[in-house]
Amino acid sequence: MIKEKQLRFQIQTKSTTYLFEVTESGHLKHYYYGPVLSEKDAENWDISSSVGWGCALLYRQDDPSSSLHTTPLEWSGSGCGDYRESPIELEDADRVLTTDFRYVSHKIYSGEEPRHFLWPRAEGAEETLEVCLSDPEIAMDLHLYWSVFDDVICRKAVLLNKGNDPRYVRKLMSFCVDFSGEYRMMNLHGDWIREAHTETAPVGYSRIVNESLTGFSSNQHNPAFAVMTEQTTEWSGDAYGFNLIYSGNHYASMARSSANLTRIMQGISPANFRFELAPGEALETPDAVMTFSAEGLNGMSRNLHEFVNNSLVPAYWRYRERPILYNSWEGCMFDFNERKLLGLAKEAKRLGCELFVLDDGWFGTRNDDTQGLGDYNVNMKKLPHGLTGLAERINKIGLQFGLWFEPEAVNENSDLYRMHPDWVLQEPGRKPLQGRNEYLLDLRMECVRDYIVKSVSDVLDSANITYVKWDMNRHSNVLGAGSMEYVLGLYDVMHRIFDPRPEILLESCASGGNRFDLGMMTISPQIWASDNTDPMERLYTQKGLSYFYPQSTMGCHVSASPHMQTMRHSEMETRANVAFFGDLGYELDLDHVTYENKKKIREQIKFYKQYQRIFQFGTFYRYDTDENHEQWQVSDGDCSFVGVFRRQVSAAPGYEKLFIYALDPEQEYHVTTRPQNVNLSTVGGSINLLSPIKINPNGPLFYVADHRIHITAASEDRTHTGRALAGGFVPVPLFAGSGYDGRQRLVGDGGSELYVIEKTGK
């Protein structure tokens, strides 16, 4: 709900209030964003100083409190006494322009405002406030927007050139706001196979910037960030979440001013940005997303997860369960033929998978990553019955069929490049650089977009394809507004291909999580989180992403051990326990999986299927843990799953205490553990503590037994109230080298347990 009284605006979400007003000089003064305020509080809330401050320039000589530098603002300009970073920078042909936008009018729309540009956006806003500002000196108007969703506010800016000469936009943020007080910023950094690690830093008087300059939302700096206080934990305290519905170069900054105001802004990166705004034209920013929770980071995540699941992902896929898939990449790479694929598909079906995904290598001369990219004609040597025939055979086995593409890129060694070298994204006079032997196609060119739409659509219509993995493996450093225009081109292509085919499940991928962003999610309900499937590494990546994105958006696969990137060994059960907290898939050569491990996979899939809705759409909680542990929970209110993951065990652990929150304190719950087996090789020679005959842990008998016999770890089975479980209970002890009688948990380094907590109804 949005209310206005004497130019004081009150934006009310389900559990927050946002307050600002128009000052006498026409600027927008920010007052408050936090827990719901009463009507009276909202009317009286004030932040003001009636006297001037130190070196402040006064906006009006007759008003000592009129310095813009010491006013908390909803937007600011340059050159009028606010020395803080400005969200807007403009030039005309000759000079940098002073900007000073002041209130002219406002409007409250039910639902969304009429749109200007083509940015992807969330659907289903309750109301939208538009405030129109103007700077007559430079003949420009600025319209600012606040759209209300359940517990999220979307903001954006639209700049209009009302003059007779072109203007050049060097910077236009989606929003800017000044909070009073001291904060910390948490953001996600990383690289390929090390995506979404968190970093938290106090915001001081020097500016902190979270920015991507790779052309994409990037695995180096995800656009999402959290703002919190020193006291904020996963479960309590103030937590603000911010994000941008955009897939290109982005920018966010925070800095504290000398007056103790913390300025926050976010938008398209201004680095090397220059956009010509012709007379009469408008430039619209992508939407920024903001939320607040007084229930800590878990509360912030809940608001953002609900927003994505309810309003952001394509309508067809909202709360629709994602199929359990088998992907051919890690098992086969480029080396496969129809026989191999059908063998894998049969096995995947036997294990319980629902969808078979053929990854890279099915077209042109794509037998390695140096060639063929761009030529989407089926390799008939590998697939003699074509995709149509393969899809039919896979469907007959009882699986859906999905396919990999990388439509934005091209190898130099490809027919497409030989025919159209000019289609490559490049600067006149400079040779473009390659990454993974690829150039990017210039999606700003209409003929390129038409080519991609046609070639991908033709393939999709040639066979029964119900899933697409859309990959992109090369950064871009195109400068100017070119990066933004590329992203617009990409959205255009994807909409033209997938809007008419809403039932195709699109999983976006960019060398893993290089484009894990809200812009992609408006088209692609699921995103491949990382090429790294080592469960210990995935704990970092999935946890980092979980702050801002729901489990339903995260592709999470079980792969082989030792892991191909870290060479780390892991238990099959831990690999699954981590992957359960997302969209489960399997990605390993099933011909090389032991009989015992296949049995485990079958059990894992059966279990996941039973609770798929909760794992994909349930409320997600992280626990405050030390660096050796992670504890995650998903819940639908009646049933919860708690994963406890351990990076390293310590000797003689003694009794542990486990706390389980987010349960009804008055209700009774039955707590069990998903039954787990460990390999003989995990316990090694200690098996002789149990075995009636002595087995040499390095001998052939042990090797054979390792593939056939597994040891069952102790399981929990207890009933307690939610209150007791939140107070902490002592689970069965950990194995500590002093004997094993079946009542110890066998959890080594990298071990895990999955607790199942169900209401008994008593």
Residue number, 298 or 559, with CB nearest to ligand GLA: 559
- Catalytic hit among 151, 178, 375, 471: 471
- Select the span of 110-118, 260-268, 504-512, 608-616 touching ligand GLA (CB under 6 A): 504-512
Helix (H) or strand (E) holding 393: helix 386-397
- Catalytic hit among 531, 534, 583, 706: 531
The least CB distance from residue 505 to ligand GLA, in Å, is 16
Give the separation between CA 151 and CA 168, rounded to whole angstroms.
36
Residue number, 87 or 555, with CB nearest to ligand GLA: 555
The least CB distance from residue 250 to ligand GLA, in Å, is 21
Give the separation between CA 416 and CA 413, rounded to whole angstroms.
9
Give the separation between CA 479 and CA 495, rounded to whole angstroms.
25
Give the separation between CA 300 and CA 143, rounded to whole angstroms.
28
Residue 332 binds to ligand GLA (criterion: CB under 6 A): no
The radius of gyration of the chain's CA atoms, rounded to the nearest angstrom, is: 28
Please give the DSSP secondary-structure letter assigned to residue 551. Answer: G
Residue 266 binds to ligand GLA (criterion: CB under 6 A): no
Q: Which residues pair with 35 in a beta bridge?
A: 16
Residue number, 218 or 511, with CB nearest to ligand GLA: 511
Give the separation between CA 320 and CA 599, rounded to whole angstroms.
28
Residue 375 binds to ligand GLA (criterion: CB under 6 A): no
Residue number, 512 or 618, with CB nearest to ligand GLA: 512
The least CB distance from residue 269 to ligand GLA, in Å, is 24
Q: Which amino acid is at 82?
A: D
Give the separation between CA 244 and CA 267, rounded to whole angstroms.
7
Residue 329 binds to ligand GLA (criterion: CB under 6 A): yes
Q: Cα–chain-centroid distance for residue 167?
A: 35
Its sign, for the CA torsion 701, 703, 707, 710, is positive
- Select the span of 105-113, 342-350, 509-517, 573-581 touching ligand GLA (CB under 6 A): 509-517
Helix (H) or strand (E) holding 491: helix 482-498
Binding residue (CB under 6 A) for ligand GLA from 512, 519, 525, 731: 512
Binding residue (CB under 6 A) for ligand GLA from 135, 360, 438, 571: 360
Give the separation between CA 160 and CA 163, rounded to whole angstroms.
9
Residue 511 binds to ligand GLA (criterion: CB under 6 A): yes
Give the separation between CA 610 and CA 324, rounded to whole angstroms.
12
Residue number, 302 or 366, with CB nearest to ligand GLA: 366
Residue 416, classified by CB atoms within 10 Å of its CB into exposed (0-12), middle (13-18) or buried (19+), is buried
Give the separation between CA 225 and CA 240, rounded to whole angstroms.
9
The least CB distance from residue 1 to ligand GLA, in Å, is 43
Residue number, 160 or 456, with CB nearest to ligand GLA: 456
* C-beta of residue 375 within 8 angstroms of C-beta of residue 418: no
Residue 359 binds to ligand GLA (criterion: CB under 6 A): yes
* C-beta of residue 207 within 8 angstroms of C-beta of residue 165: no
Residue number, 411 or 552, with CB nearest to ligand GLA: 411
**Which residue number is nearest to ligand GLA in terms of Cβ?**
360
C-alpha angle 553-554-556 in degrees, rounded to nearest 5 = 150
Residue 21 binds to ligand GLA (criterion: CB under 6 A): no
Of 99, 104, 180, 179, whose CA–CA distance to 144 is shortest? Answer: 104
Residue 471 binds to ligand GLA (criterion: CB under 6 A): yes
- Select the span of 278-286, 349-357, 507-515, 727-735 touching ligand GLA (CB under 6 A): 507-515
Residue 531 annotated in active site: yes
Binding residue (CB under 6 A) for ligand GLA from 151, 284, 375, 531: 531
The least CB distance from residue 19 to ligand GLA, in Å, is 45
The least CB distance from residue 215 to ligand GLA, in Å, is 17
Residue 615 half-sphere exposure, CB side, CA atoms within 13 Å? Answer: 27
Residue 404 binds to ligand GLA (criterion: CB under 6 A): yes
Residue number, 158 or 452, with CB nearest to ligand GLA: 452
The least CB distance from residue 333 to ligand GLA, in Å, is 8
Residue 599, classified by CB atoms within 10 Å of its CB into exposed (0-12), middle (13-18) or buried (19+), is middle
Looking at residues 81 to 110 of the shown chain, list those that interact with ligand GLA (rule: CB under 6 A). none
Q: Which amino acid is at 481?
A: A
Total chain residues near ligand GLA (CB under 6 A): 12
Q: What is the DSSP string of 501-564?
A: -TTSEEEE-BTBBTT-SHHHHTT-SEEE-BS---HHHHHHHHHHHHTTS-GGGEEEEE--SS-T
Residue 423 binds to ligand GLA (criterion: CB under 6 A): no
* C-beta of residue 384 within 8 angstroms of C-beta of residue 343: no
- Select the span of 152-160, 275-283, 488-496, 506-514 touching ligand GLA (CB under 6 A): 506-514
The least CB distance from residue 213 to ligand GLA, in Å, is 21
| Residues near ligand GLA, by CB under 6 A | 329, 359-360, 369, 404, 471, 473, 509, 511-512, 528, 531
Q: Mind telling me the catalytic residues?
A: 471, 531
